Amino acid sequence: MSLRLGDIAPDFTADSSAGKINFHEYLGDSWGILFSHPADYTPVCTTELGAAAKLKDEFDKRNVKMLALSVDGVESHKSWIKDINETQHTTVNFPIIADEDKKVSELYDMIHPNSNENFTVRSVFIIGNDKKIKLIITYPASTGRNFDELLRVIDSLQLTANYSVATPANWKLGEDVVIAPAIKNEDIPAKFPKGHKEIKPYLRTTPQPNL
């Protein structure tokens, strides 16, 4: 059965490039990002893991723990990491799950027969500190993931989890947000003391409330 937004992220225990990991214990009270790769030594994924490593400090600022996955073994991962560090001029600083038996891939529905019945597709799961899945994206093998976009999404998810707002198209941290339709006009001043604009009765904006 496919996972959906709001489902509890399935727990698992697996070997990784950083030793054995229990997923829920690894996350603790943090948010998490789990992203899969078809196999080691794949070119696009080599660039992705390098890009992710360079942004680890940004994920740390947001209390997000990173975890990658590939269907090859630990020793292969460790050797691949050396290539990633060399070619991408960085240091991979988060674990890569060794999913040789594909248990985690199957648990998270990462294997799509229409794509390739042997390899995981390139999926991304963002998991909240309540262990619930907040976002699922699946990319084709030919298109590299945009980790700046994933950080933007996390900023939106964390903001909207705590305030009665939504973020508009192309929103970035620090820009105005949309007030939830359920908030009555008379309640806006108390909830959003920075003020608001009414563009239409159903479209009301306010400065980002947590800045």
Residues marked active site are found at 45
Our measurement of the distance from residue 103's CA atom to the centroid of its chain's CA atoms, rounded to an integer in Å, reads: 20
Q: Could you say which DSSP state residue 152 is in?
A: H
Residues, the chain: 211
CA dist 131 and 31 (Å) reads 8
- The amino acid occupying position 118 is N
User: How many angstroms separate the CA atoms of 70 and 37, rounded?
Assistant: 5
> Helix 43-54 crosses helix 74-88 at what angle (to 10 degrees)?
70
